Copies of this chain bind each other. A is one copy, B any other.
Amino acid sequence: MKILVVGSVALDSIETPTGKVEEVLGGSAIYFSVAASFFADVNLVGVIGKDFPEEHIKFLKERKIDLKGLQKEEGKTFRWVGKYEHDFNNAYTLDTQLNVFNHFNPTIPDQYRRSELVFLANIDPELQLRVLNQVQQPQIIACDTMNFWIENKLSALKETIKLIDILIINEGEVKELAKETNLIKASRAILSLGPKTLIIKQGSYGAMMVKETSIFSAPAYPLENIVDPTGAGDTFAGGFMGYLANSGSFQEKELRKAIIFGSVMASFTVEQFSIDRLRSLTFPEIENRYGVFKKLTYFDDIKNDQ
């Protein structure tokens, strides 16, 4: 199965307690695509400026990411400048230059319209709706968003959420969107807006999946050396959707495995700047870390030794 992703492509300049990089490959669609490409074919829709380095195009093509939907416009590529303090918990935006991303109007190439899975990365919900108007009966639509859209485009966001299957957002956004501080009550309120599945990203605490009749809780990988948390959420979504596309089944047991694969991919991404750790990553390494997650969470049934 093929995955369509629509989101940002950026050149990031990032400072963390472990180092500093300038104008490295970034953006939600990039982190998502590279992670998903380990599992499935990815169709990318985004926009770049004339200044976007050719080496990045080459790398994305090497990863077999389809770039027919990557529009090249007059002007400069979207730039983000950010900084993390020593606890890595908050990204402080120092500068944002939207450039060509400012007028991004996603156009889905004909060959992409029948992608079985669609991921709407965190962009204006009005653009997310435009994407949904261009695709033909995908089997799974997943979507991310952020506090800015909850605060400024709530009605468009709710329209999008009504049309999707899986909402993948941060814990704080769950509570803000539902106006409810109890996470489980907030989750149920969001399920009542439309999606059958809510996936809650909890940073260093892992992720939770809430469905009408079940909850799944996954830990984060215990990371001793974090270099750059940028893109962890999009990488998670990429691993998650990638595994689902590869599996072709969307039963709960597959969703649970997909969450672990998403967590595995995110845990690798933050070990280096940009998507650099994924450049050298191998599938045996992914499988090995999946096994670590299993050991990390395993406990015997109550009656095991009786």
Contact check, B182 vs A260: say whether CB atoms are below 8 A apart.
no
Instruction: Return chain B residues, CB-CB under 8 Å to A184.
Output: 222-224
Instruction: A281 to B217: give the CA distance in the assembly, Å.
Output: 25
Who on chain B is nearest to A217 by CB? Answer: B219
Who on chain B is nearest to A175 by CB? Answer: B87
Contact of A219 among B219, B287, B300 (CB under 8 A): B219
Contact check, B302 vs A291: say whether CB atoms are below 8 A apart.
yes
Contact check, B297 vs A253: say whether CB atoms are below 8 A apart.
no
Contact check, B215 vs A296: say whether CB atoms are below 8 A apart.
yes
Q: Given A181-B87, A182-B224, A219-B217, check contact A294 B301 (CB 8 Å).
A: yes
Contact of A224 among B86, B185, B300 (CB under 8 A): B185
Name A's interface SS: mixed
Contact check, B218 vs A299: say whether CB atoms are below 8 A apart.
yes
Q: Which range holds the interface residue count of chain A?
A: 35 or more
Contact check, B202 vs A257: say whether CB atoms are below 8 A apart.
no
Contact check, B222 vs A260: say whether CB atoms are below 8 A apart.
no
Please provide the chain A residues from 239 to 265 with a CB less than 8 Å away from any CB of chain B in the complex.
253, 256-257, 259-260
Please provide the chain A residues from 203 to 233 with a CB less than 8 Å away from any CB of chain B in the complex.
204-206, 208, 210, 214-219, 222-224, 226
Q: Does A290 contact B (CB under 8 A)?
A: yes
Who on chain B is nearest to A181 by CB? Answer: B87
Instruction: Return chain B residues, CB-CB under 8 Å to A216.
Output: 296-299
Instruction: A215 to B298: give the CA distance in the assembly, Å.
Output: 10
Q: A244 CB to closest chain B CB, in angstroms?
A: 13
Contact check, A260 vs B299: say whether CB atoms are below 8 A apart.
yes
Q: Kindly name the residue among A87, A222, A253 whose own CB sees the greatest number of chain B CB atoms within 10 A.
A: A222
